[in-house]
Amino acid sequence: MSVNFKDLGLVNTREMFKRAINGGWAVPAFNFNNLEQLQAIIKASSELKSPVILQVSKGARNYANQTLLRYMAEGAVQYAKEIGCEHPEIVLHLDHGDSFELCKSCVDMGFSSVMIDGSALPYDENVALTRKVVDYAHQYDVTVEGELGVLAGVEDEVSSDVCHYTKPEEVIDFTSKTGVDSLAISIGTSHGAYKFKPEQCTKDPQTGRLVPPPLAFDVLDAIMEKLPGFPIVLHGSSSVPQEYVDIINQYGGKLPDAVGIPEEQLRKASKSAVCKINIDSDSRLAFTAAVRKVFAEKPAEFDPRKYCGPARDLMEKMYREKITDVLGSDNKLAQL
């Protein structure tokens, strides 16, 4: 039986993207796979009165079950209200959808937004697949994100060795032929905790830390010139906070040379037509750092709440910092 997202108290991305572009901020798109991530995301975004996009990847669906995740998102709307956010704006979004059938099944089960990622396909096939998803999703007012250009990086379900920047000369044709509501682009970000090879970076002489090369803001500018006011999405935007990497390494982990996107660059992007910024790895790092610390300091502990609780607290702190200090999405609900 099909259900529409509006009956679940969810919203699509259309209005929040317009406000984000006009206001010079970006909506956080946080991936979730489990209860603790969801609690932390909703607590941070509701208390800070930020719109939020809950992202479900193929990996998350395999891990947690797509039906369960959908009901958790419905529960999240009620939880947001219970903790004092009267008019939450929560989007349930399919991250990196790879087929029409998957996107359709998410639309039918109450997702309010889907991504169809045809970026690895030949251009014409990407256009045709994306158009098919848009035609279906728009019948139910579900918004659609498409992608042009390929991000480097390896994760469970998303992988490519090389990065191909989005070609600005293709964006008008792609958006007009497909009818997408937003466009994910490639300007040098990548998925995971190893966004750049050490040889691509310089070294900060004071801290010895790797300093990554800047994002290709010239490509972003050229895209914005072709598509004035069109919603742009940045994937692979974790900053890989070195404090979490250090905790993980201190307590028995092994994450050498993990490096992310510097926050100043994400602040700059948020002020432009980039209105959705995807963050997953930073949540994984915060969770792992907190759990490793408890395991090392309290080896006798065996109640999962005693290590998942601190993990949840650290993720909430991280989500709050993203919202207030990086994306500027706090106090941006239509009805505060």
93 binds ligand G3H (CB under 6 A): no
Interface with ligand 13P (CB under 6 A), residue from 36, 181, 280, 316: 280
Choices 55-63, 78-86, 207-215, 319-327; region in contact with ligand G3H by CB under 6 A? 55-63
Q: If you search the block for the tokens 């990065």, which residue do you land on?
A: 163
Interface with ligand 13P (CB under 6 A), residue from 43, 61, 191, 332: 191
Q: If you search the block for the tokens 């510097």, which residue do you land on?
A: 262
Tokens coding 28: 């956080």
What is the residue type of 107?
V
Q: How near is the Cβ of 238 to ligand 13P at its closest, in Å?
A: 3
Of the residues 7, 95, 257, 325, which is catalytic? 95
Phi-psi region at 163: left, alpha or beta (left = phi > 0; alpha = psi -120 to 50)? beta
Q: How far is CA 116 from CA 113, 121, 134, 146, in A?
A: 10, 11, 9, 5
> b/e map of 85-121 (b: 16 or more CB within 10 Å)?
beebbbbbbbbbbbebebbbbbbebbbbbbbbbbbee
Q: How many angstroms separate the CA atoms of 33 and 105, rounded?
A: 18
Tokens coding 204: 């900060």
Choices 33-41, 124-132, 228-236, 263-271; region in contact with Zn ion by CB under 5 A? 228-236
31 binds ligand G3H (CB under 6 A): yes
Q: How near is the Cβ of 297 to ligand G3H at its closest, in Å?
A: 29
286 binds ligand 13P (CB under 6 A): no
Annotated catalytic residue 95: yes
Choices 78-86, 139-147, 150-158, 209-217; region in contact with ligand G3H by CB under 6 A? 150-158
Q: Given the complex with ligand G3H, which of 89 and 95 has the nearer CB atom? A: 95
Return all residues near 266 (Cβ < 8 A) that are at least 6 apart: 234, 237, 239, 277, 326, 327
Q: Given the complex with ligand 13P, which of 96 and 293 has the nearer CB atom? A: 96
CB closest to ligand G3H, residue no: 59
Q: If you search the block for the tokens 């610390």, which residue do you land on?
A: 293
Tokens coding 211: 């300093």
265 binds ligand 13P (CB under 6 A): no
Q: How near is the Cβ of 55 to ligand G3H at its closest, in Å?
A: 7
How wide is the angle at C-alpha 141 spanned by C-alphas 128 and 39, nearest 5°?
A: 105
Interface with ligand 13P (CB under 6 A), residue from 126, 281, 288, 329: 281
13 binds ligand 13P (CB under 6 A): no
How wide is the angle at C-alpha 212 spanned by C-alphas 206 and 214, nearest 5°?
A: 120
**Residue 156 binding: pick among ligand G3H, ligand 13P, Zn ion, none (C-beta 5-8 Å cut-off by kind):** ligand G3H
Adjacent-strand bridge partners of 29? 53, 278
Here's the x/- map for ligand G3H, 56-85, by CB under 6 A: it reads as -xxxx-------------------------
Adjacent-strand bridge partners of 54? 30, 92
Q: Write out the residues near ligand G3H by the rule CB under 6 A.
A: 31, 57-60, 95-96, 155-158, 191, 235, 280
Catalytic residues: 95
Q: Write out the residues near ligand 13P by the rule CB under 6 A.
A: 31, 95-96, 191-192, 235-238, 278-281
